[in-house]
Amino acid sequence: MASSSRAAVASAAGAALLGGAAFVSAPTTRTGNLRATASVATPSAPVSGLEASSVAGLAVAGVAVAGCFGRRAITTSAKHQLVALTAFENELGVQAPVGFWDPAGFTADGSTENFARRRQTELKHGRISMLATMGYITPEITGKLPGYLSPSAGLKFADVPNGLAAISKVPAAGWGQILAYMAFCEVSQDQSAGTPAAAGDFGFKVLTASDPEAKKTKLAAELANGRLAMMAIIGMFFQDGLTGSAWGDWANYTASPLRAFENELGVQAPVGFWDPAGFTADGSTENFARRRQTELKHGRISMLATMGYITPEITGKLPGYLSPSAGLKFADVPNGLAAISKVPAAGWGQILAYMAFCEVSQDQSAGTPAAAGDFGFKVLTASDPEAKKTKLAAELANGRLAMMAIIGMFFQDGLTGSAWGDWANYTASPLRAFENELGVQAPVGFWDPAGFAADGSTENFARRRQTELKHGRISMLATMGYITPEITGKLPGYLSPSAGLKFADVPNGLAAISKVPAAGWGQILAYMAFCEVSQDQSAGTPAAAGDFGFKVLTASDPEAKKTKLAAELANGRLAMMAIIGMFFQDGLTGSAWGDWANYTASPLRAREC
């Protein structure tokens, strides 16, 4: 057992240090998803209880993420024979960029049963870790639930601390409920090998799906999220145990060298002072000031470079000649990295001379205004110290964004040969199927960051577009329903004569929900049902494309109809954002527009007279 443990440790250490380059793949003849292409000279040992418990512990720590190298060569001590394993490289959970990664060699025996058992365990541990992580985060953001956790014990939710300290507060009945739920999850499904539950499918189709490919995609995403959550919850436990607080208490770190810089220029919400590389660990104010000065310069250069990429794409090139002597027009200089080879030597001389002027025209030694970024150009800075600090902080933030942007542009340009990439190169993209569809509008073009259209299905695209059109129409009506009464007032007369309810009695916004009588809700639902069933909305019909025959919104002319529907889609998208904002404002303040009287500390108060 000792020698086996030493071998496992040595194997893990070697894999961590040497990576994939430490292994040699032997030529193999593969058949399907090969489980083992040759037999190892030493017999396979059965899976011991110690091994099983080790796997469970490592999974909780986020370490036993099964995923080895695709083809590993194993040298046996008996015959010094190379054996290649390609057993699990296409299994669920093997994800880019690491691929199949198993530095501890848990899958070296090629056993599909052991692999499936460990994968099932990893999936469960990931789900528990995701719940635990959210259990840490949610109370910090939303606060505790109202009311009592245990009325009999007089224990309120607000009395239960966040994190590890909660363990001592939960009553015995609470632990019983938790254990009962865990037992229910374990015994309510048949989880034996080969069943859907063994692969993580408990029939809850929000997490999985009926379609095998969709289910596989969702489970793979869940595995990845679970791995992240296992790492996160261990970090939270460590932080909590170390500091006594779920998030650590910054007040405890009184001796930290970071204290020296937490109020310096460039320390901005929500991150605060952030130095993961530890550049300020020495506490040197001189080094900090020098780095901050350098960051400000790099940000300014990056902002100029970013604008140099963007401006010619929007406004075009300057007229005339860049170099009359060389016969070089501005229009002849390409945008992006390709311009480097076109700018004449005199042009580079001018660029370098300007850079040198910026450097030597001001005294930038420590403590001078220029060292803090103030070159006397009061459009960027200001005479007032507070206004100058605000402007320089904004400039630092913009410069940081520009540094990220220009690196992205360089990468895109170097990869595709075009400053913005050349869409013509992406001929095999599934997005090609939809780039000319209704709703694809400038300046964004076809935009699908969630990848809903990645399968290239025109049916799914049409169904989602139809749904978007409906949601947009409902949101436009809802938005106008919020706005109109605020501007024009309520209708005269009664909403419900039988109930004696006047229109004027119905409040604006969410509060109206409790005032509308049952007959009113019936009318609303009946109208919605009429809109749904009065037209054939199956694929390919005019109604499926949003044309219900009401020619004020659409038109008989195909081009005019397309223009009107495109405008309606854009307005509907805006309305969906607007109505959500109104709901949030209403729910937060109790008023459809918020109550200006509540905002006593607003800087706008200074200008209201």
Supply the DSSP string of 568-606, one letter for each residue.
HHHHHHHHHHHHHHHHHHHHHHSSTT--GGG-TT-GGGG
Q: Regarding predicted confidence, which is higher, 503 or 59?
A: 503
pLDDT of residue 6: 39
pLDDT of residue 431: 58
- CA angle 522/524/528 to nearest 5° reads 115
pLDDT of residue 430: 61
pLDDT of residue 250: 61
Per-residue pLDDT of 429-479, as tens digits, reads 665 667 778 778 877 777 877 778 877 788 888 888 888 988 999 999 999
pLDDT of residue 4: 40
Per-residue pLDDT of 311-367, as tens digits, reads 888 888 899 998 898 889 999 988 888 888 888 888 899 999 999 998 888 888 888
Q: Is-contact 118 130, C-beta < 8 A? A: no
Q: Is-contact 10 104, C-beta < 8 A? A: no
Q: Which helix (H) or strand (E) holds 413?
A: helix 385-416
* 595 backbone φψ class: left, alpha, beta (φ>0; ψ -120 to 50): beta
Q: What DSSP letter does each residue of 487-543 carry, written as one string?
A: HH-PPSSEEEGGGTEEGGGSPSGGGGGGTS-HHHHHHHHHHHHHHHHSS--STTSTG
d(Cα 539, Cα 463) in Å, to the nearest integer? 8
Q: Regarding predicted confidence, which is higher, 232 or 162?
A: 232
Burial category of 444 from C-beta neighbours within 10 Å (exposed 0-12, middle 13-18, buried 19 and up): exposed
* 539 backbone φψ class: left, alpha, beta (φ>0; ψ -120 to 50): beta
What average pLDDT does range 364-374 have in this prediction? 81
Q: Regarding predicted confidence, which is higher, 556 or 117?
A: 117
pLDDT of residue 304: 93
d(Cα 82, Cα 38) in Å, to the nearest integer? 9
Q: pTM value?
A: 0.38
**Does the annotation flag 441 for ligand binding?**
no
d(Cα 16, Cα 18) in Å, to the nearest integer? 6
Q: How confident is the model at residue 604 (pLDDT cuts 50, 70, 90)?
A: low
What average pLDDT does range 76-99 have in this prediction? 62
Per-residue pLDDT of 517-529, as tens digits, reads 888 889 999 998 9
Q: Which of 11-15, 262-266, 279-283, 407-411 has the highest mean pLDDT?
A: 407-411
pLDDT of residue 58: 32
Q: Is-contact 376 361, C-beta < 8 A? A: no
3-state class (DSSP) for residue 106: coil
The answer, yes or no, to whether the previous bond of 257 is cis (omega within 30 of 0) is no
Q: How confident is the model at residue 9 (pLDDT cuts 50, 70, 90)?
A: very low
Give which of 44, 92, 43, 86 is closest to 66, Cα–Cα.
Answer: 92
Per-residue pLDDT of 200-224, as tens digits, reads 777 776 666 778 888 788 888 888 9
pLDDT of residue 69: 34
Tokens linked to 2: 């000792």
Q: Is-contact 577 476, C-beta < 8 A? A: no
Helix axes 49-60, 112-142, angle to 10 degrees: 30
Q: Is-contact 187 108, C-beta < 8 A? A: no
pLDDT of residue 233: 92
> Is residue 33 predicted with pLDDT exceeding 70?
no
Q: Is-contact 501 490, C-beta < 8 A? A: no
d(Cα 56, Cα 466) in Å, to the nearest integer? 47
Question: What residue type is 586 in one-letter code?
Answer: D
Burial category of 477 from C-beta neighbours within 10 Å (exposed 0-12, middle 13-18, buried 19 and up): exposed
User: What are the φ and ψ backbone dihedral angles of 606, each rounded to 5 degrees?
Assistant: -65, -20
pLDDT of residue 392: 83
Q: How confident is the model at residue 370 (pLDDT cuts 50, 70, 90)?
A: confident
pLDDT of residue 577: 94
Burial category of 102 from C-beta neighbours within 10 Å (exposed 0-12, middle 13-18, buried 19 and up): buried
d(Cα 47, Cα 64) in Å, to the nearest integer? 16
Q: What is the mean pLDDT of the chain?
A: 76
Tokens linked to 413: 């340009």
What is the 3-state secondary structure of 187-250?
HCCCCCCCCCHHHCCCCCCCCCCCCHHHHHHHHHHHHHHHHHHHHHHHHHHHHHHHHCCCCCCH
